[in-house]
Amino acid sequence: MIPLIKKKTKNDNSDKKNKINAIIFFSNIIEIILVLSIIILFYITIPLSSSKVIFIPKGSTNYIITYLNKSGYELNIIDKVIIKAKGYPQSGWIDLKTTKMTKADFINKLLTSKAALKTITLIPGETAYFFLKEISEKFHLSFIKLQKAYDNYSYKLDGNILAETYNLPIGMDEDHLVFYLISYTNKKYEEFSNKIFGHYIKNSWYKYLTIASIVQKEAADIDEMPIVSSVIQNRLKKRMPLQMDGTLNYGIYSHTKVTPKMIRDDISSYNTYKYAELPKDPICAVSLDAIKAAIFPAKTEYLYFFRDKSTGKHSFTKDYKEHINNINRLKNIKTPQKETKIFPKKSDSKTTTDVKTLWKTIN
């Protein structure tokens, strides 16, 4: 018998053809994926140059990419997809830490970098004028615009910014920077006042700041501050002029040596040789220690003090004759005398227990 040969049907041919087409299709898909992967891997390793600190505006990813493209970064659809897949870019001025990186590094830094900051310190006893000058130089900002913003937001001519170290974002404009410093300080003043008095009356607080600013200029150290404060309070009670050189080191005169001519010619309220009252405004920025001393002066009868150049400290006295004798005695001292402390005895200077308790509560 001759064996029968089974003929292939049209369905068999169609199935086989479909399988072949499917294999070809998936092969093409895999090939496309591989090619795209190679392209993306190659693309994200392309080297990129940038400044260390860049500004990222607030807005959608599309808006940010458009902004960066206008700034010369040449980002495209691939970058957009990667960024959207990984998160959302930081906004504001950010610190990339380096100027040379790959596209992948750049995208990662857009998503994770922290704000770019610079540190600046307002030294106790310094005036707002010189602090704004320093900000202008360090942050490359306009001094005129800084001063204009300061005049706009300040309550008094000085003392509106607490003597402290500040970490400020790079790229902040003049108006926002000054507004931040004064707002931050006002919150601190309110916090301190509420802890001490249970309320915050701005005008009254700034009177203490005025005393604190004189203390800041005159006291040799923190220990002397409550004693200098007591001299100021005692003289005010007796309606005596304070006659303190430090009050004339205000504003642009912060680093100027006070001379007899300056004392004769200065007609401002800062001239405590002419007027038997406090200046109308604080003289300078103050520390918390100076504020505490202004509010809680030591209990003394001192009206005079004189600086001993050999120790840098002051000698405090109760009457004018004793003060003159003290000046003559100290002027004759030519060599530093170690362990010499010309301070009032503990019995001459007292602080109540309640005051000490309040003192410790202010951080």
Domains held by the chain: number: 2
- Whether 106 is in a domain gets the answer yes
pLDDT of residue 339: 37
Q: Are residues 95 and 142 in the same domain?
A: no
Q: Which tens digits make up the pLDDT trace of 111-156?
A: 887 777 889 999 999 999 999 999 999 999 999 999 999 999 999 9
Residue 322 has pLDDT above 50, yes or no: yes
Could you tell me the pLDDT band of residue 235, with boundaries at 50, 70 and 90? very high
CA dist., res. 75 & res. 89, Å (int): 14
pLDDT of residue 355: 38
Of 313-317, 326-330, 338-342, 349-353, the least confident: 338-342
CA dist., res. 67 & res. 65, Å (int): 5
Which among 135, 143, 280, 315 has a CA at the least distance from the CA of 209? 280
Which among 138, 49, 57 has a CA at the least distance from the CA of 92? 57
User: What does the mean pLDDT of the chain come to?
Assistant: 83
Across the range 29-52, mean pLDDT stands at: 73
Question: Which residue, of 71, 97, 112, is where some domain finishes?
Answer: 112
CA dist., res. 291 & res. 293, Å (int): 5
Q: Which tens digits make up the pLDDT trace of 168-186?
A: 988 788 998 999 999 999 9
What predicted TM-score, i.e. pTM, was given to this entire model? 0.68
Q: Are residues 69 and 175 in the same domain?
A: no
Element at 169 (helix H, strand E): strand 165-169
- Whether 39 is in a domain gets the answer no
Question: Which residue, of 97, 112, 127, is where some domain finishes?
Answer: 112
CA dist., res. 299 & res. 356, Å (int): 13
Could you tell me the pLDDT band of residue 308, with boundaries at 50, 70 and 90? confident
Residue 43 has pLDDT above 70, yes or no: no
